[in-house]
Amino acid sequence: MAGHSYKRSDRLSHLLHREIGSIIQREVSDPRLQFVTVTNVRVSDDLKEATVYFSIMGEDKQKAVKSLRHAGSFIRTCIGRRCYLKYVPRLNFRFDETLEKAARINRILDNIHLEQNSSPDRPPEDSEQGG
């Protein structure tokens, strides 16, 4: 029963996530995309549009988006061959800022922690003195 609660767009999102990631890693020959990771795919309810979210290590995000857009029709063709779909959705590539935001939050928390521990008027937490 629980297997039927998924919408078609959700099932297609999971399929495209797996397939697009595989195509980028194994079949796209652009060296600028070798460090691209597909982080999420959201498919519209009418199944005609798919937003592909990605992250990339150490590369220019704008160049990666441009390269992915350039490879988009090739990726769609590969999906059409691999998956039995009546219609392969149009692919829109977007940089996923989630990891960057998480890293920024972690840096802020680390800085707060360092400031609290280096405060001169505050005794270290480790040295509990019992009497």
Entry pTM: 0.74
Query: Which residues constitute the domain of residue 9?
Result: 2-117
pLDDT score of 18: 97
Please indicate, yes or no, if residue 96 is contained in any of the structural domains: yes
1 confidence band (pLDDT: 50, 70, 90): very low
The CATH number of the domain where 34 resides is what?
3.30.300.20
Residue 84: band (very low, low, confident or very high) from pLDDT cuts 50, 70, 90: confident
β-pairing, 90-95 with 49-56? parallel
In a domain, 83, yes or no: yes
Percent of the chain whose pLDDT exceeds 90? 50
DSSP string across 3-30: GGGS-HHHHHHHHHHHHHHHHHHHT---
**Rounded-to-integer distance, Cα 12 and Cα 89, Å:** 10
What's the number of domains the chain is made of? 1
Averaging pLDDT over each range in 4-8, 57-61, 76-80, which range is the top one?
76-80
Judged against a pLDDT cut of 70, whether residue 3 lies above it is answered with: no
